[in-house]
Structure formats: structure tokens, C-alpha cells
A and B are shown apart, each in its own frame.
Chain A
């Protein structure tokens, strides 16, 4: 039967050419939308950090000594419970990409710098080993704390503490492992893995300050004065609560996803209505054909099946071309993503389209199955 339907549909390809082309483009569009949604997926799982009442004081490049004074001066404020230098922070984003040399291969991961206070300031969760402390500065080697992702990647069975990690820049001693942050702003660190390097001398970009109360105008003014005094005057150094970073990121994400949603629902509604009305009209036109088949003994179930199979057959024609084009994208990695993402998005889009066309065909097929042979043949 399937072979017959295939031939039947193939013979009518000219009549259905617009539907096929439409489904082809629809497949490409939906695959693309699925692709960008999954390749920009957000970190899921629990947030292994806490940024309540943490404020970011941005600092320009400065000599080490003055910077240290900024921290001491901020710590003297009664509202401040902690302060830590880092070149980034949870919810802020921005990481250094470095290449780790592992089994002769270069693997890209991310690096950030921190001092000994960051862990307690933003409540990072330690999995094993320890965080930097005041003896770290005297260590003979460069110390790092890696995240859970990196541990699972490089040391799947066993302890990472005490081992060495070699990057294209340096050799590092691993002293601890923290749980991955699951930070939306640092999606790539969740995918690729990252580590914190202890660095007392590097030019930091941020002083993260933990307050006992939410940031208010009085504290803001005080911090601003201290920033100017020790951080030098630079037009574009801000003092922003980290919650504000997070808010703007969330807005950006929701605005991006509502755009995707808008475009895909527009395309889907178009396809559904178009497909439905074209099928509906086609059934009307084929009344006599169906009548003859019924008269010759076909059950209404058989007619039902025939209509649905025909539609699926048409869809398959469109998808064959679609997958062929999608494969070209994968081959040349035009969209710069993981190969798996291409495959997943094409499979998802294909399944979705099959489901959609089946749903669209249900009612027209029902109408066709209901056709009474006598009525249909009478018309003829």
C-alpha cells in the first residue's frame, strides 16, 4: 500500500509542488530556530553561588599597591561584610579562554583570577581540596581551583587535588575542586570547564563587595568616593549591584526568546492554516475518486489511512531535500556550532513537522472517510 501511495503522490508532484517547497522552507526555518535555541540554552540546575547584596566596583588597570588599599578602605565601612578581587564574578560574564594541553590535544577552557576571599563572599561550594588562603601567596607553584566540569572531563575516576594542569601558558597545581556555578552568564564555563587562578599581582577588573544591607544611595556615594581615591579616575568605571547585571541578562534572554517564539509561532500558524485549507480543498475535489474506491469496497478506515499516508509522503519528499541542505550546513559548519546540535535540531524539526502535518490532515481525512459512495458517484 505504501508503495502505491508513494507512486500516487509522486505522480501528482506537480500539483503539490508548492506544498512541498513550503514544507522544505518550513523545515529549514524550524531547524534553524531549534538550533539557535539549543545552542544558546541556559544553565540549568541549582545555582551554586549567592550574590545577594554583592556589589561590583569596577577598577581600571592599576598598580598593585593602591588596589590593595581600596579593599582595606572598603572593609572599614560598617555595612561591608567582605570584599574580594576578581577579574569577573558570577552573573557578570567575561572569561579568558586558554588552551589546556591534554593527551597531546589542545582543549579550550576558561580562566578567571581571584584572591583568597572570593569563595566565602559568593558562597562557592567546595567539592574537594581547599580554596586559596593566606599561605597561597608563598606557594612556589601557580595554584588553581578547577570546577566540577573540568574534574569530570580530565579526572573522571579519582581525585584531582595535587595533580598538575598544563596550559599553553603555564603549569598549574590543582588545590581544590568547586561545584560548577551553573551561571547563566558563564554558559561556556559550564560547557567547557573553567578554573580560578590565584593571583595576587594581576590587574583585577572588579572588587566584589558583600554588603549587610541592600545597596542604597548613602553606601553608593561612599563607595564612589573610595573608588575615585584608590582606583584612579576613569570615566567608565561603574559601581553596580550584581543583581542589576542579572536583571539585564534576564531581560536580554527573555527578549531573545520572545523573538524566537514570535517568529516560530507565526510560521507555525501559517503552515497549519495553509496546510489545512489546501488539504480540505483537495478532498473536495477528489470526492469522485474516493467515492469509486468506497464503491469498490474500501473501508472508511482505509480511506482515512490513505489520506494521512499521502500527506506524510509529501512531507517526506520535502524533508529529504531539507535534510540534504541541512547536512551541507553541518558539513561546512556554517552556523559555528556543535555537530550534535545540528543533528538534534534537524531531528526535532522533522518530528515536529510530521506531527503537525498529521494533525492538520486529521479533519480533512475524517471528511474524506465520511464520503458516502452513492453521493459521490451521483455527483459524477
Chain B
């Protein structure tokens, strides 16, 4: 049965080449834009390497306090504070870091590389793929080794294609490179994800002494509010603030969903996708209505021989899904083709940090999104024409009438 439908679908598609072409064009481009948009959205909010635990990560930028007697001030949370927090039953891991930058001047242009000074827990929370060398470990940090782990694109900028291990990087103070990690497209990076260069925490010279940011990995995303409460409680217990009354503690930072206004983004995404999808979908519906009504005599005969409306509707929907599926596959190929140009567009400001990630917009995830959206698209644009046609009366259909 299904084989027959598929055969008929192909026959019909080949008979009306122009309309098939129009439909395929509409579908494949829609799927392309759909899948690119969803992948970009996923890059912003999803758990993608290296930030594989993003959804249960709390990005803490700092804590501030205020009370009627003491004006607004940043709370100086040191390593001890985090050591205590680590004992909380909701916390799986903590990585302390500081942000900085390294500049380089080349060909009249200043390139600013983001630096994170981190402890060794970074390698447990994030999932970096090492192309060369190794990460720094606890001993390197305690002994204050001037080591650096750099990204693939940073390596390309400084040293070209050869090995970078053992070479030095930095403007005034030099750091020895011990590892190179693979580049990934990261949008709206937070915390140490931003960095192109990672350096042991103990040798940080950054001037932001009073701010001690950290990323806190919760056991699950449900306990993040508990961790926040715990942070507030712990801050209130600090000796300096114990005696203060009506103290108000504010945490800056949050989960990626809180910091990047997830609800607003979803709304924007939906409106954009709606407009991108609704016009081609209506187009396809219009085409289908016309295409099916051309086949009214076929419908009449099948009805006269006892085919029920639902069987006919099913057939048309399946035919439509087949054509959208083909369009979906074309859409995936298109996505792959435009992917590198698109990444260039996203990283217009720092092409040097996009080297090596040019094909990153195609992934199993994006193929899956594309195929799923193609099927959905086929279903939506097929249901109405199929329903309309299947309602057609056998006699009227045989006479060659239309569905309106």
C-alpha cells in the first residue's frame, strides 16, 4: 500500500515538473532557514561542547550587599567561601576563575583575545577536545607554572599551522603553551567559555581583585534556587556582616536562561519562525489544492470503487510528506553549503576567532531538527488540501469539479 503511494507520488511529481520544482524550492529553503535558526538558538541556550553542562550551571559573577547602615558594597568572597560552598549537598563542582585579556598587534590591527584564569576543575565541568598537549593540573596551579592552553584559532593566528606546544604567548608577561583545544561556535558565552586562552588561576594579575566569579555546577537544574539561597545564607554568616540588621544580599549572574532572558528570546524566535514558515506553507497549501483538484477524476474513480475519504486524505498527506521529506534533505545540504558563510557573518567582528569552526552549524542535532521540521511542514501543508479534496463528492469529482 505504502509502496503504491510512494510510486504514485513520484509519478505525480515527475508529471508536474514545474510545480514540483517550486514546491521543492520553497520547502528546502524554509527548512534551511528553520534549521539554522534553531541551531543558532540551541548554540545560545543548549548544552553544547565545551559547555556540556550549561543547563545546570550557575554563573556567579559576584555578590553585593546593602543595609540601612552600610551602603552598597561588593562582598569579597574568597577561596575559603567557595571551599565551604563545595560541601553543600546540592553542589557537584565549582570552578573559580578571573577574566582578563591578551592583546596582539598585527598588520595595523589590534586583536584582543579573552583570557580566563581558572583552576583545574574547569576540565571537569567543561568538555574540551585537546588537539595537542594536555590541560594544566592541580600541581601546575599550586606551583604557579606560567602555562597556557589556547584555542585552535588562537594557535592559527599566532603560529600558523605548525605545532604550538612549548612556544610562548602574551604581550608583556609570557606564558608557555602546553595544550591546544578544538574551537567550537559559542554564542552568548558566559564565564570561562568566552576565553580563547586559559591560564592557571594562581598567576592571575587581573586588577579586579574584589570580584571573584565562579561557575557552580549543580547536581541538577532543580536545585539551583537552593544553591542561591545557600549563597545568601553563607554571605550573611560572614563575620563582617553577622551583626548587621536588614541586610540585603544580591547575587549577580544566574543560569544562562536568566541572564539571556529566555522567555523573550523564545518569543522573538517564534515570531521569526512563524513568518519564515507561514508564507511558504500557505504557498504550498495553495499549490496542493490546485494540484489535487487537477486529479479530481482520479479521486472520483477511486471513490466510485469504494475508497473512503480518510483513505484518500491519508494518501495525499503521505504524498505531501514524501515531497517535503525530499525538500528537507535538500535543505540539510543547503544548510551545509551556507554554513561557513554564516559563521563568518556571525563572527564579523573577530574572524580570527572563527577559524576552524566554519562548518560547525551542521551537526546531528541540526539534521534532526531539519528532518523533523520537514515532516511537520509536510503534515501541516498537506492536511487542509487533503481534507478539502477527500470531501469531494464522487459524481462531482468524476465530472471534473473543484473542491471549493
Give me the interface of A with B, judged by CB distance under 8 Å. Answer: 12, 14-15, 18-19, 21-22, 25-26, 28-29, 214-217, 220-221, 233-236, 238-241, 243-244, 248, 251-252, 254-255, 258-259, 263, 266-267, 269-271, 273-274, 277-278, 281-282, 284-285
Instruction: Give the total of B residues in contact with A, Cβ under 8 Å.
Output: 39
Of the listed stretches B137-145, B280-288, B299-307, chain A binds B280-288
Select A18's contact among B103, B206, B282, beta carbons within 8 Å: B282
Residues of A within 8 A of B47 (CB): none
Contact B105–A238 (Cβ < 8 Å) = no
Select B19's contact among A233, A277, A282, beta carbons within 8 Å: A277
List which B1-45 residues lie within 8 A (CB) of chain A: 18-19, 22, 25-26, 29, 33
Contact A235–B18 (Cβ < 8 Å) = no
Of the listed stretches B108-116, B157-165, B228-236, B363-371, chain A binds B108-116
Q: Which 9 A-B pairs rank lowest in CB-CB distance, beginning with the nearest? A: A274-B283, A22-B282, A281-B290, A15-B404, A251-B348, A273-B22, A18-B286, A255-B348, A255-B345
Residue B260 CB within 8 A of the other chain: no
Contact B29–A266 (Cβ < 8 Å) = yes
> Can you name the residue of chain A whose Cβ is closest to the Cβ of B344?
A255
Contact B22–A259 (Cβ < 8 Å) = no
Q: How far is the CA of A155 from the CA of B205 in the complex (A)?
A: 55
Contact B279–A25 (Cβ < 8 Å) = yes
Given A215-B108, A266-B33, A270-B26: A278 and B287 interface contact (C-beta under 8 Å): yes
Residue B324 CB within 8 A of the other chain: no
Contact A235–B291 (Cβ < 8 Å) = no
Contact A281–B101 (Cβ < 8 Å) = no
Select A234's contact among B19, B25, B207, B402, beta carbons within 8 Å: B207
Q: How far is the CA of A234 from the CA of B207 in the complex (A)?
A: 7
Given A25-B278, A270-B279: A12 and B404 interface contact (C-beta under 8 Å): yes
What sequence of 0s and 1s flags, for each residue 259-295 of chain B, a beta carbon within 8 Å of any chain A beta carbon?
0000000000000000110111011111101110110
Residue B100 CB within 8 A of the other chain: yes
Residues of B within 8 A of A273 (CB): 22, 25-26, 283
Residues of B within 8 A of A243 (CB): 108
Residues of A within 8 A of B108 (CB): 214-216, 241, 243-244
Select B275's contact among A21, A25, A216, A285, beta carbons within 8 Å: A25
Q: How far is the CA of A254 from the CA of B345 in the complex (A)?
A: 9
Q: How far is the CA of A236 from the CA of B109 in the complex (A)?
A: 16
Contact A236–B290 (Cβ < 8 Å) = no
Q: How far is the CA of A310 from the CA of B95 in the complex (A)?
A: 68
Contact B290–A278 (Cβ < 8 Å) = yes
> Can you name the residue of chain B whose Cβ is closest to the Cβ of A244?
B109
Select A235's contact among B208, B275, B293, beta carbons within 8 Å: B208
Residue B243 CB within 8 A of the other chain: no
9 A-B residue pairs with Cβ-Cβ distance under 8 Å, sorted by A, are A22-B282, A28-B275, A220-B110, A221-B105, A241-B109, A263-B33, A269-B25, A270-B280, A273-B283
Q: How far is the CA of A266 from the CA of B283 in the complex (A)?
A: 13
> Can you name the residue of chain B whose Cβ is closest to the Cβ of A273?
B22
Q: Which of B110, B293, B294, B404 has the most CB of A within 10 A?
A: B110
Residues of B within 8 A of A269 (CB): 25, 29
Select B286's contact among A248, A267, A278, beta carbons within 8 Å: A278
How many whole Å from B248's CB to the nearest CB in chain A? 27
Residue B349 CB within 8 A of the other chain: yes
Residues of B within 8 A of A19 (CB): 282, 286
> Can you name the residue of chain B whose Cβ is closest to the Cβ of A254?
B348
How many whole Å from A290's CB to the nearest CB in chain B? 16
Residues of B within 8 A of A26 (CB): 279
List which B100-134 residues lie within 8 A (CB) of chain A: 100-101, 103, 105, 108-110, 112
Contact B286–A22 (Cβ < 8 Å) = yes
Task: List 17 additional A-B contacts (Cβ < 8 Å) besides A244-B108, A252-B349.
Answer: A12-B404, A15-B402, A19-B286, A22-B286, A28-B275, A29-B275, A214-B108, A217-B105, A235-B208, A238-B103, A248-B349, A263-B276, A273-B25, A274-B284, A277-B287, A281-B287, A285-B290
Q: How far is the CA of A284 from the CA of B290 in the complex (A)?
A: 10
Q: How far is the CA of A29 from the CA of B29 in the complex (A)?
A: 17
Contact B291–A281 (Cβ < 8 Å) = yes
Contact A285–B18 (Cβ < 8 Å) = no
